[in-house]
Structure 1
Amino acid sequence: MQNQTHKSQPYHTQKIGFILLHGFTMITFASAVDVLRMANYLSQKELYSWYIYQEENGTPASNGLGLQDSVDAEALFDCDMVFVCGGVEVQKATTPTIKTLLKQLDHQGMVLGSLCNGSVALASAKLMDGYKASLHWEALSAAKEAFYKVEFSEQLYTIDRNRYTCAGGTASMDMMLHLIRLKHGKTLATAVAQQFVMDRIRDASTTQYMTHTEIIGPGYEYVQTAIELMQANLDEVLSMQEIAELIPLSLRQMERLFKRYCHVSPAQYYLRLRLQRAKELLAQTSMSVMQVTVACGFSTSSHFSKAYRNYYGYSPRDQRKPIDPEYTYRISGSGGVINSDLCG
């Protein structure tokens, strides 16, 4: 897929390649491409051209849609940068063919990048060892478990030498705007952002998962501190009394604040964090159910399975065995209600 522009005078065109993996996130890919398109439109120059590669034409995105117009793999070697566009089940989507292609591009000295969970594909090809990288916050803990040589962060995007990685959603817009600003100046980058009704261009250091300001009120800082302690201790679970003492608050005060701001007890919130991490590990790593049990702070696999089934409606083993499209959709969604007798 190559862009159409109002090119009025010669200009060095930067060629950008995109490798679309099965289940790639459409909004992240489209956001990146549209920023480049708008830069061409506003400058009246072909500053950028873009090309997509797919193992098969029409590779479906996570929303089920696909693109038909793609180039051969050889065309990527003529690009200035190549980005891997990932999404759901990115490790499964990173086939041996994709890994080989990425290694060949790296061997040529290609600048490589990723959109959404594409950095997992680069890591799977052993091309991120010793680098810092960003990816979607939901996949962060699983990626850290699987690729300990990569310094994954919660940043919106990360530029580390010849690696350009960003999180999901609209994070690709900010990274591309940064690239435009570096190469063509702040004025053009700002004009592009204005066309997309962006109130600001977010910096790379911006964290992905921000607290909604509308829920902040008296005492919320204690809740936030408690949640941070929970997130830092998913494998070695703290007692509610220990968390309350570390905040510090009385246990009753902490429970009251959690009910006010999170609508669940601290124990229920803690269990939800552990189960969400378990789901990430089951979906995105090859860890056994017993390994996930330990990594998420459960004493026995039976206790883990009971809590997991109660929250998601299916067992940990079923997470890895979708049997029909409706079932797959259900597994990819969020969980339900936690029963208090399963907390702890």
Structure 2
Amino acid sequence: MSDDSFVQKGAAATLSIPHIGEPQDFYFLLLPKATMLPVAAAIEPLRIANQVTNTKLYRWYIMTEDGAPLRCSNGMMVTPDMALGALPSDGMGFVCAGVEPQDAAGDITLNWLRREHRFGRKLGGICTGAFALAQAGLIKNQPFTLHWENQPGFVERFEHLKPSPNIYEVTGSLMTCGGGSAATDMMLTLIEERHGKQLAIIVADMCLHVRSTSGAAPQKSNYAVAIGSRNQRLLSALQLMQESLEEPLSIGALCTRLDISRRQLERLFSRYLDQSPMHVYSDMRLSHAFALMNETSMSVTEIALASGFNSATHFSRQFKRKFGASPHFFRKGWA
């Protein structure tokens, strides 16, 4: 990329901010099947910050492991600026992954991450980039996150690590986000830290982005939004179910925890969800199993147990009922 292309003309008034020194460099390493949305959502705030200040505050570069074009999750090819290489002392490196993240990072990438970490570089993960960071041993006790869809598989693979449900986490030298527009929120935070709140607000407005006040915003809509009800007992029941997938609670145990009768619980689910409590609970566990099927190498029996099914045979029947194929055929079909 030409160095002159980092500052472009725009119609918005220019914001004058004091700036001394070299631009800050961002390097985005795309892994196979990376999702393009969060990559663009991370880069555009940097471009807009330059545009509205008419100053080269930031530079950004796309990397692939070998410098060759890479196909993203939507099938589009991206031509990188360079292959993996040493980052400058103040450069920030982000691993950008997407679907099938457990197989995306090779030894070259993992060794590069370890080397840059040893040199004190700031590193991060976008969407499912946390898989590569964890494989490289770079996630310890600090908060981190990745896309909610991929968290069940991540937790099964890295049992000692617990991702945050938040849209992004910025802690010291580790920066992670759940993908999508969360990448914009993360970048706005970095822009504000370096150049102030006024610039971050203007960049957010240019992106037509309603900024989250902090990374503590959850990635998923809460149950109240999802089901269109604020009935506290129903919401508490759904939360208890979600927290007890591996060791499901009986209807009686749910009722005891909620201090509600079985008849009342069934009425709630029938009224708001048009399903029985057990049917909803079973679907939750099967969705959990679906994620594990896609993103782990766990056996069908192991997945059945991790999803609260005592019998692999019963699990297989229920899985086929919901997804149209037995777990074995489902996995072969995606191989």
- Per-residue displacement from partner, 1:74-122 (whole Å, max 9, x unpaired)? 2545661100011110011112222122112112221110111111111
Q: Which moved more, 1:7-16 or 1:82-91?
A: 7-16
When the two structures are superposed, what TM-score results if normalisation uses the length of structure 2? 0.89
Q: State whether structure 2 residue 61 is matched by structure 1 residue 51.
A: yes
Match for 1:16: what amino acid?
A: F
Q: Which moved more, 1:22-31 or 1:67-76?
A: 67-76
Call closer, same or farther: CA 1:261–1:168 in 2, change over 3 Å.
farther
RMSD: 2.2
Indicate conservation of the 8 Å contact 1:52/1:70, yes or no.
yes
In the other structure, the counterpart of 1:336 is none
Indicate conservation of the 8 Å contact 1:130/1:149, yes or no.
no
Pick aligned residue for 2:320 from 270, 285, 309: 309
Equivalenced residue count is 323
Give me the identity figure in percent.
36
Structure 1 counterpart SS, 2:144: strand
State the shift of 1:253 in Å: 2.1
Q: Which moved more, 1:147-156 or 1:28-37?
A: 147-156
In the other structure, the counterpart of 2:81 is 70
Q: Which moved more, 1:169-178 or 1:103-112?
A: 103-112
Q: State whether structure 2 residue 41 is matched by structure 1 residue 34.
A: no
Q: State whether structure 2 residue 265 is matched by structure 1 residue 254.
A: yes
Match for 1:74: what amino acid?
A: G
Q: State whether structure 2 residue 125 is matched by structure 1 residue 110.
A: no
Q: State whether structure 2 residue 171 is matched by structure 1 residue 169.
A: no
Indicate conservation of the 8 Å contact 1:17/1:79, yes or no.
no
Matches within 5 A, 1:116-265: 116-211=127-222, 213=225, 215-217=227-229, 220-265=231-276
Could you tell me how far apart the structure 1 residues matched to 2:60 and 2:319 are? 43
Structure 2 counterpart SS, 1:174: helix
In the other structure, the counterpart of 1:5 is 7
Match for 1:297: what amino acid?
A: G
In the other structure, the counterpart of 1:334 is none
Could you tell me how far apart the structure 2 residues matched to 1:29 and 1:210 are? 22
Structure 1 counterpart SS, 2:333: coil
In the other structure, the counterpart of 1:340 is none
State the shift of 1:59 in Å: 1.5
Structure 2: which 5+ runs fail to align? Answer: 10-15
Call closer, same or farther: CA 1:169–1:243 in 2, change over 3 Å.
same
In the other structure, the counterpart of 2:13 is none
Call closer, same or farther: CA 1:264–1:62 in 2, change over 3 Å.
farther
Q: State whether structure 2 residue 111 is matched by structure 1 residue 100.
A: yes
Could you tell me how far apart the structure 2 residues matched to 1:34 and 1:129 are? 30
Structure 2 counterpart SS, 1:133: coil
Could you tell me how far apart the structure 1 residues matched to 2:118 and 2:331 are? 34
Call closer, same or farther: CA 1:316–1:250 in 2, change over 3 Å.
same
When the two structures are superposed, what TM-score results if normalisation uses the length of structure 1? 0.87
Match for 2:80: what amino acid?
A: D
State the shift of 1:320 in Å: 3.1
Q: Which moved more, 1:246-255 or 1:132-141?
A: 246-255
Match for 1:301: what amino acid?
A: A
Call closer, same or farther: CA 1:214–1:103 in 2, change over 3 Å.
closer
Q: Which moved more, 1:171-180 or 1:139-148?
A: 139-148
Structure 1: which 5+ runs fail to align? Answer: 329-344
- Per-residue displacement from partner, 1:35-87 (whole Å, max 9, x unpaired)? 11111111111111111111353312211112113312125456611000111
State the shift of 1:179 in Å: 0.4
